Structure 1
Amino acid sequence: MHDPHQQGAYGFCPFLNLTGLPCPGCGGLRAVNLLSNGEPVAAVSSNLFAVALVAVLVVAWLVWTVRRARGVAAPFLTWSPRTIVIAGLLVAAFGIARLTPWGAWLAP
């Protein structure tokens, strides 16, 4: 079993290796691992965006499950162009914020 807290346990981040800067996904695997071990505060310190994404996916899954139980055949997730743009802007804002001095607490 691999420990995501050990460097190189699951490979490397190409963006981090090329630039020396963490990408928006850096720390995401550690965050999900910590969430699955019942440590939400530690997970947030690894990657706040990944924790928020997991929360959104859990809520979406619950909504989808209730709809399916009621007989509504709806897709799990639908992505409009507006949603894609907003999601991209959120990822970019998070990635930039964690590189600034005032967003240093977001760094993995």
Structure 2
Amino acid sequence: MKPLIFGYMRVPRDMPDEEARRREGEMEAYAQANVFTLATIFHEFEAVQRSAFAELIEALRRTEARHVIVPSLRDLALTDRLQDALVLQIECEAHAQVVSLDEL
């Protein structure tokens, strides 16, 4: 069985549906090319909330998944310091690694 990977992305109100689907497709393509099963993609719809992020952390804790894919670290947060803090939270609390498609 292939290892699981979770996706996480922000979907601002002004993002066209085609753009959201393209980003989801890129995450799926990465998973397939790297022998993962993309379990689910957590979508954050509100800029100031992190409810989907909290759900992601819980899912990582409940499963054997040890990888998270994001289209960009900006999907986690807009500032570098907050991006670093959230990546560290994923690494420390859920023992998972973050892969950012824009850094490949």
TM-score, L = length of structure 2: 0.27
Mark the structure with the bigger radius of gyration.
1
Whose strand proportion is higher, 1 or 2?
A: 2
In terms of fraction of residues, the more helix-rich structure is: 1
- Which gives a bigger RCO, structure 1 or 2 (Cα 8 Å, sep 6+)? 2
Relative to the length of structure 1, the TM-score reads 0.27
